[in-house]
Structure 1
Amino acid sequence: MVRKLSRGVALAASLAVLPLTAACSGGDGKASGKASDESSPVSAVVAPARVEVIAELTGCEVKIRTEAEELREGVCQTSVGDYLVTTFPKDELKEVWLESASMYGGKYLVGPRWAISAKPDVLKQLKTKVGGTIRDLSQPSQPSAS
């Protein structure tokens, strides 16, 4: 019972913060729902799914704010900008989280079992440090006609 309650509280807390982080993520008016094809020198290297490791790679001393079975979140405040690092024990949980985040729009830097929420210019800088793909969640993905 306590486990389910803490899980629900953690998920609700992370979803409650999404409007704030998405609002900060701005956008450039382009909505593709697809990953950006910008390449970076570290595009072949992607950070592992640990908040502390990702934070260290980005030059941040992270403050953990959510610790749950489904996700861990840490807040980073750096000279580059503020951002939220979220990690997941399974990629499926990351995709559920991103699907929920899509209702708020915005761009996210996404890797295997992790996502970073920040303003687009901050995401571009972080991508060079941790790899990943910038995903625009401004509009739902449209099936492609083949």
Structure 2
Amino acid sequence: MGSLFHTPVKTVLLCGAALVLPAAAAGCSGGHGGHGADGAPAAKEATIEQLAERTGCTLTGTRKAAELKQGQCKNGKGRYVLVSFTSDKTRDSWLTEAKPWGGTYLVGPKWVAVATPQILETLRKDVGGRIVKGDDHGGGGGGGGQQHGSGHGS
């Protein structure tokens, strides 16, 4: 087996990140079940269709590759992108590739939502997960890789 990200998949991911992250109109989440101390549910494995249903969004522009499926969402809370993966290992590899672009991610088992921190905090109340920040490209402090909230680890 070659690289986890074959050229077409890597191109889709990087192009998607380049288009979505600067616009801060990405990500989503998934999960359902018990609630943590902060009131957010425990994140559960979910498809982008299930995540869209749980967050009350209209899913558009879906794309599928061997290792992932991605779609755009819009609801009353804002715009975000949902991505589901074949495994947590694939999700983690995607995050490693995406985090240098910056951005903020809501991470659950085999899925990621990408959006502004405010939208992700709202979505997290519906589907759980943990918020992970990409690399900071601004002038101030606070590096990347910070995690907030509770939810499912890997």
TM-score strictly above 0.5: yes
Q: Which moved more, 1:102-111 or 1:132-141?
A: 132-141
Q: How many residues align?
A: 125
Question: What's 2:132 paired with?
Answer: 135
TM-score (norm 2): 0.72
Relative to structure 1, is the Cα distance of residues 10 and 65 closer, same or farther in structure 2, using a 3 angstrom cutoff? farther
- Larger strand percent: 2
Between the two structures, name the one with larger relative contact order (CA 8 Å, sep ≥ 6): 1
How far residue 106 of structure 1 moved from its aligned partner, in angstroms, is 1.6
CA distance in 1, matches of 2:21, 2:58: 22
Counterpart residue number, 2:106: 109
Change (3 A) 1:141 1:107: closer
Q: Secondary structure at the match of 2:101?
A: coil
Please tell me the residue identity of whatever aligns with 2:132: R
CA deviation string 1:8-37 (max 9, x = no partner)? 3233112112123222349xxxxxxxxxxx
> Identity of counterpart residues, as a percentage?
31
Relative to 1, partners in 2 of residues 1:55 and 1:39: Cα closer, same or farther, differing over 3 Å?
farther
Which runs of 5 or more residues in structure 1 are unaligned?
1-6, 27-37
Q: Distance in 1 between matches of 2:132 and 2:125?
A: 15
Which sections of structure 2, spanning at least 5 residues, go unmatched? 1-5, 26-35, 136-142, 147-154
